[in-house]
Chains A and B, each alone.
Chain A
Amino acid sequence: MEEQFVHFEEQLIAAGLVNPGDALMAFLDEDISWSRPSPDQEFATRLFEGLNINSLIVSKAAEPYQSIIDYLAETADGSILPQDCETRTFLHDLPVALAFLPEQVIPLLKQRKSVIVPGKGLITYGTISLEQSFVTFSSVCFAVFVKFFSDYLAAYKKGVIPADFQDVFQRVIRFLPPPPQFEGTLAQGPFTHEEQVLMAMDEAGKMTIRHRLVDSFFGNISCRLGDVLYISQTGSSLDHLAGCIDPCAMDGSSCAAMTASSELSAHMEIIRKTGHRAILHGHPRFSVILSMDCDVDACAKGDSCYLTCSYKREVSGIPIVPGEVGTGPYGLCNTVPSAIKGKDGVIVYGHGLFTTAPQDFNLAFSRLMTIENTCREAYFRRIGRSDPSLSE
């Protein structure tokens, strides 16, 4: 178990979600194993007693997340309601506990996968493995980040920003890492062998995570070689793709790719429509935030913009389309492929960004990064200031 504790702590730290030494992780099979000694062990033991679960993470979040969490928790009415796709699909809402006490936390964890305790951080659990606790931890951080910046933009546009919001925002943006930059080159196509494809995907996946263009566990990547589409498996992490890529027969003669990413149909259709060979899909934050910032006042859609939208929206020439995860009637497999042809990428409302390239991942990756950086610039323009990480 030790290995897993080390692995997930490293993942959390690398993603900037927790500070070294802050996370307490626990795993229960016959007995509880702990990632480290901690005064919170007694609290965590009570959670294991009160819930039918096998893993836990209890941790303060790293900045800027902890400030964001504390602010949103304070101003929420018992539970935070982010509007992004990860929350809508998997988390539903983010309950807030009044105090770091088992009797406060257990009833909330019975309902949802995470609980926020202001000042203390986040508690997440799994019933299968520690990875679930990790994924939820990471999703919650993503969701609160997107909500915080979206809320600020909305408040700015309305012209009413509460003073404490303004203060927290000033503080939070100082913690933003500078926009990602990349000067090098990735493996160059055209590829002729499976090993080249797998290595190129592995490399591009790692770069996407390292530049924080997607949280580990989400996002997907594919590359075509002949009549086989190599695609990351569902629930795989783009920085750990070894053994997690499914070769998928494009003629449909085998179902062996049943474990492929939930966006396989979208990838297949994009390949058919564009003739390109490399596809990258991440969840870069400012692209997601801007996709939800709509200026159409007279729209009757209400809160169903993630399903359908009757307007042609874009940011800096990049189309924004509605669409849900997967293949349902409102699935993004119906919207992204037709919108991406002839464009550098497509942003899915509240969800993430798809980019493609004809041969290899160089262009797909640089497009992913450039579009995100453009969106970040546009965000700060919309709130009438410049990105503090650039002005220093």
Chain B
Amino acid sequence: MNGWCGNILIVDLDTKRWAMDHPDPEIYRTYIGGRGLAGFYLKDHITRNYDDPAMPLLFFTGPLVNTSSPTSGRMAVMSRSPLTGTVGDSSVGGSLGTNLKKAGLDGLVIRGKSTDLCGIEISEDGVRITDARHLKGKGAGETFSLLPAKASAAVIGPAAENGVLFSSIIVDGHFAAGRNGIGLVMAAKNLKYISVKGKGRTPVHDPEKLLKAREEIYRLVSASPALSGSFGISKFGTGALYDLMDARRMMPTDNFRKTRFEHAPSMNAAAYKKAYAPKSKGCRGCHIQCKKVAKDGRGIPEFETMSHFSALLSNTDMDCVMEANRICNDMGMDTISAAATLSCYGEIQNKTLEPHEILGLLTDIGQGRDEGALLGRGSARYAKDMGKPEASISVKSQELSAYDPRGALGMALSFALSTRGACHLRAYPISHEILRKPVATDRFSFLGKARIIKISEDANAMADSLTACKFIFFAATLEEYAKVYEAVTGHGISGQDLLKIGDAVCKNERDMNRANGFTHKDDDLPERFFKEPGSSEQSLSIKPIDREAFLKARGAYYKIRGE
């Protein structure tokens, strides 16, 4: 086979043994890799509890990884989400995926539960299950420093070890499989880290065709203002979106009670650039290099983190945002859920948190102590316990990211319908509702949005399966990626046929959620968005979402999905 290695490593932590699975080539062509193939390995286990030792934790790459395909350094991490109870997954960058492929693996399935804290070390010489008791309670940063040199690694921090429901897995220091509490599944297996080191090459069917297909994508990337423009994410990181969200009056502020943060102009990506003179980094195999790292080694917050730790908490201290980001990454917890849980806490306690309170509570959450132990269960459970469920701005118990749905109705629909709880990435309608790509749509209208969301979900499921970065789809389409796929694997396919596979990937996830009792009733938004307006200005009115229109569009979506 070209593109794929033909090997899936199965590690059993109960028996400390490992085995190799060799899926039929037809399975690869049907599920592609990444999120699609991981979903195939998950579906028979999805009704288990996340901490059932038999529940698999899956790390899957795609056929394009470890080739010269554009933005192919990513991978999918999947299991059942401890936070939402739905299918749980995150796409993560860095070079872990590339190293898995270099070690001859398309994916890694981890089963069982170790009696003591352990690590998994994978190299071309084989698999070692190591004693990791000395790493107990250590932060991600320190853990990385104690791991084998030159390997790529995924680790959990104290948050996962202390049962935080939104704990993440940190990859190669700066990259997070952030959402859904996937880190807690790793902790439930008593697994502190996975390190992978490989040297092999992934065979490509037609290198010359790949070069040409790559050129066509690079050309589109250069033509994309959002990616390559003077104010695009290559120059400023994803934080470039910050000013735009402010300008469009859809920056979630004060726990989604406002959509405008008056201090935004001094807390934007340009301000971080000025204050921290960051250098660019990125995933292996990507030329966009959207990750920004300050001189002192701290990562510049991604857009979501930048927005939620400032506007959502009404916080004007930029260094506090930097520190909050550092603490979350070191503790191994999702910045979006962490910030939104704090803002829910602020609303319930009726106070604006001071910077030292923000940082103190974050540390308490990670350590599982005092009020932190309550907040570590996420905003939905906390707000319910406090008798104010309406203060949790979440869908299926996962907190919304930094796009206020009243300012983009496609986003509203896609937050509600996402298979992993509130998620902006499943369909990313911001692309057309705000960034005008591939064309602009009316952000205040539901017209056509049901089908658009469905098609975009399919497309993004495919991006997560190939595995490519979703940002590149601001510029390229599956039409161009089909050519890359064909050059790498030798299997001719069209962009439209890739979409069809994406449709099957989404259906599988919706089926899995149904098996766990999720119904259409769960595909809904917090009441606040239907009752309260956002922050309007003279020429721009941010109204509450028309519930009837929302329900009608949601109904159309189900019909289009065939449900």
Contacts and interface: CB of A to CB of B under 8 A. Distances in A.
Nearest to B229: A264
A256 B240 CA distance: 8
Contacts of B432: 128-129
A90 B220 CA distance: 8
A326 B495 contact: no
Contact of B247 (A92, A128, A256): A256
Given A254-B268, A256-B246, A259-B434, A328 B230 contact: no
Interface stretch (B178-186, B378-386, B451-459): B451-459
Contacts of A129: 432, 439, 441, 448, 452
A110 B224 contact: no
Interface in B260-293: 265, 268-270
A128 B452 contact: yes
Contacts of B230: 248, 252, 257, 260, 264-265, 268, 327
Given A30-B556, A30-B559, A235-B439, A254 B265 contact: yes
Contacts of A5: none
B439 A52 contact: no
A328 B496 contact: no
Nearest to B553: A29
A328 B215 CA distance: 11
Contact of B243 (A29, A236, A254, A326): A254
Nearest to A258: B231
Given A113-B479, A127-B452, A325 B223 contact: yes
A29 B439 contact: no
Nearest to A331: B222
Given A262-B224, A262-B229, A128 B219 contact: no
A235 B436 contact: yes
B244 A255 contact: yes
A233 B482 CA distance: 29
Nearest to A135: B439
Contacts of A291: none
A89 B435 contact: no
Interface string A312-352: 00000000000011111011000000000000000000000
Contact of B270 (A51, A52, A252): A252
A92 B495 CA distance: 14
Contact of A258 (B244, B458, B494): B244
Given A254-B268, A325-B223, A234 B436 contact: yes
A57 to B, nearest CB: 14
Contacts of A254: 231, 243, 265, 268, 270
Interface in B450-509: 450-452, 455, 458-459, 479, 482, 494-497, 499-500, 503
Interface in A101-125: 107, 109-113
B244 A27 contact: no
Contacts of A215: none
Interface string A229-266: 00001111000000000001000111111111110110
B223 A324 contact: yes
A272 B58 CA distance: 53
A132 B438 contact: yes
Given A128-B452, A252-B270, A328-B218, A111 B439 contact: no
B223 A52 contact: no
Interface in A52-82: 52-54
Residue with the greatest number of chain B CB neighbours at <10 A, chosen from A53, A264, A326, A330: A326
Contact of A1 (B232, B244, B247, B447): B447
B455 A127 contact: yes
A202 interface: no
Interface string B381-413: 000000000000000000000000000000000
Contact of B231 (A113, A257, A328): A257
A254 B450 CA distance: 33
B560 A30 contact: yes
Contacts of B479: 92, 111-113
B236 interface: yes
A260 B246 contact: no
B556 A29 contact: yes
B447 A29 contact: yes
Given A52-B496, A129-B439, A261 B448 contact: no
Contact of B448 (A27, A89, A255, A264): A27
Contacts of B231: 248, 252, 254-258, 260, 264
B536 interface: no
B226 interface: yes
Contact of A88 (B219, B435, B494): B219
A126 interface: yes
Contact of A324 (B219, B435, B437, B438): B219
A259 B269 CA distance: 15
Contacts of B309: none
A127 B500 CA distance: 13
Interface in A26-40: 27-30
Contacts of A326: 222-225, 228-229
Given A264-B230, A326-B223, A54 B455 contact: yes
Nearest to B494: A110
A111 B270 contact: no
A372 interface: no
Contacts of A255: 231, 236, 239-244, 268-270
A258 B225 contact: yes
B244 A259 contact: yes
Given A258-B231, A262-B225, A326-B228, A128 B447 contact: no
Contact of B439 (A88, A128, A259, A261): A128
A131 interface: yes
Contacts of B229: 258, 260, 262, 264-265, 326-327
B496 A51 contact: yes
A234 B227 CA distance: 12
A234 B494 contact: no
A44 to B, nearest CB: 15
Nearest to B434: A259
Residue with the greatest number of chain A CB neighbours at <10 A, chosen from B228, B241, B449: B228
Contact of B494 (A28, A111, A235, A330): A111
A52 B222 contact: no
A27 B451 CA distance: 10
Nearest to B243: A256
A233 B436 CA distance: 8
Nearest to B271: A253
Nearest to B242: A255
B214 to A, nearest CB: 13
Nearest to B458: A52
Given A54-B455, A264-B229, A256 B222 contact: no
A88 B220 CA distance: 10
B496 A110 contact: yes
B222 A324 contact: yes
B216 interface: yes
A324 B222 CA distance: 8
B438 to A, nearest CB: 6
A258 B224 contact: no
Residue with the greatest number of chain A CB neighbours at <10 A, chosen from B219, B230, B452: B230
A261 B437 CA distance: 12
B440 interface: yes
22 contacts: A1-B447, A29-B560, A30-B451, A52-B503, A89-B223, A109-B496, A110-B494, A111-B479, A128-B448, A129-B439, A234-B225, A235-B437, A254-B265, A256-B243, A259-B225, A261-B225, A262-B229, A268-B230, A325-B222, A325-B223, A326-B222, A327-B222
Interface of B: 216, 218-226, 228-232, 236, 239-244, 246-247, 265, 268-270, 432, 434-441, 447-452, 455, 458-459, 479, 482, 494-497, 499-500, 503, 555-556, 559-560
Given A88-B219, A129-B439, A326-B224, 13 more contacts: A29-B447, A110-B495, A127-B438, A127-B452, A128-B448, A131-B439, A235-B438, A255-B242, A258-B231, A259-B435, A265-B229, A325-B222, A325-B223
Nearest first, the 4 closest Cβ-Cβ pairs linking A and B are A328-B222, A110-B494, A110-B496, A255-B231
